Structure 1
């Protein structure tokens, strides 16, 4: 008897792996459990499920988007944990996840591959809801414009958390300092500009030191 992994079984049925987990909860399908706890699916059972007409593939299509600002955060597992929380939310809400996109970049960066793909799928009408953890995962500024564009594409944005994590607050400080530094650079050479720039440098150093102490 040939057994498929959950990802291969989902591909055969044309659904997301979360759909198989939901059908298992509903008693529509029963996978074989390996000693490790991993699921395996019989091809015969998958075919029977397809022919039964019991499965509901009409779940609302959604896209998940997660972002962290630095590679250090990604390496620490922050990006994966954020994405896993979004998967859990989609699973509990019985949504059909059609794609997952991530970025390791500042919320000020407008040229993010993951975010670009979010727009492309929305403009092609391939999903109905975008699931994020909180608004600044999409962008640090101009969130309302992105939300409005997606709305015109027929996509609703759902933020699963109201309160930002401590990491997100640290990101905000870094992004604001980046903006300040950019503007202060334009003042360099003008009267008092050098003094202002030095003050910003000292502030940046102080914030970075505070973050390093928190991480220890």
Structure 2
């Protein structure tokens, strides 16, 4: 299993100073990877292959999510992409998925994922896009992963949508949550309100 280390750990392994590693990076001699939080990480298998011992105690978790039932086909596509990617890299993995809002922190799959990360059972997290994890709060999860030495692999670093489309989705999800609390998730008022919001978004070409 590939293991990523911090710039301090890399300097100790190679017996050089941190400024030396930064100079090597500037010259292109040794280019580190970057975490979701933009921190340097060095592949230990490239620094010292003899130290790259397979860690069978921690697993890879692939996580997929969509917001609504009418996106089930997209959920299946995400799963297939994640399964293929993990299989191609020879990783033993567990696939978790959720069908629910990116603003819902109580989804079963997400809770299982966080519990496994906090317990130290996870060595790698694989997702297709950053916002598949959470609409708001993904950076906090990435920070927890970094603290627990969990490698985060985001297959598509670019956004799925434009800024305007993301904003429209965020607004729609916020209205969905609060209107459901106010009127009830199956009420006529709630459905009418959501239909009106969707029409307004479409009219303004935001979604």
Task: Give your verdict on TM over 0.5.
Answer: yes
**Deviation digits for residues 25-80 of structure 1, max 9, x if unmatched?**
xxxxxxxxxxxxxxxxxxxxxxxxxxxxxxx9857731010000001111xx2111
Per mean C-alpha deviation after superposition, the further-off stretch among 144-153 and 129-138 is 144-153
Whether the 8 Å CA contact 2:103–2:134 is kept in 1: the answer is: yes
Pairing of 1:14-93 with structure 2 (within 5 A)? 61-74=59-72, 77-93=73-89
Aligned CA-pair RMSD: 3.6
How many Å apart are 1:91 and its aligned residue?
1.5
Match of 1:162 in 2: 157
How many Å apart are 1:170 and its aligned residue?
5.7
Secondary structure of 1:103 counterpart: strand
Note if 1:177 corresponds to 2:172. Answer: yes
How many Å apart are 1:113 and its aligned residue?
0.7
How many Å apart are 1:88 and its aligned residue?
1.1
Match of 2:147 in 1: 152
Match of 1:3 in 2: none
Q: Distance in 2 between matches of 1:96 and 1:87?
A: 10
Q: Distance in 2 between matches of 1:73 and 1:175?
A: 17
Pairing of 1:96-135 with structure 2 (within 5 A)? 96-97=92-93, 99-135=94-130
In the alignment, structure 1 segments of 5+ residues that lack a partner are: 1-55, 185-198
Q: Distance in 2 between matches of 1:180 and 1:113?
A: 23
Q: Distance in 2 between matches of 1:181 and 1:70?
A: 12
Q: Distance in 2 between matches of 1:130 and 1:159?
A: 8
How many Å apart are 1:151 and its aligned residue?
1.9
Match of 1:21 in 2: none
Whether the 8 Å CA contact 1:69–1:171 is kept in 2: the answer is: no
How many Å apart are 1:110 and its aligned residue?
1.1
Residue correspondences, number: 140
How many Å apart are 1:162 and its aligned residue?
2.0
How many Å apart are 1:152 and its aligned residue?
1.8
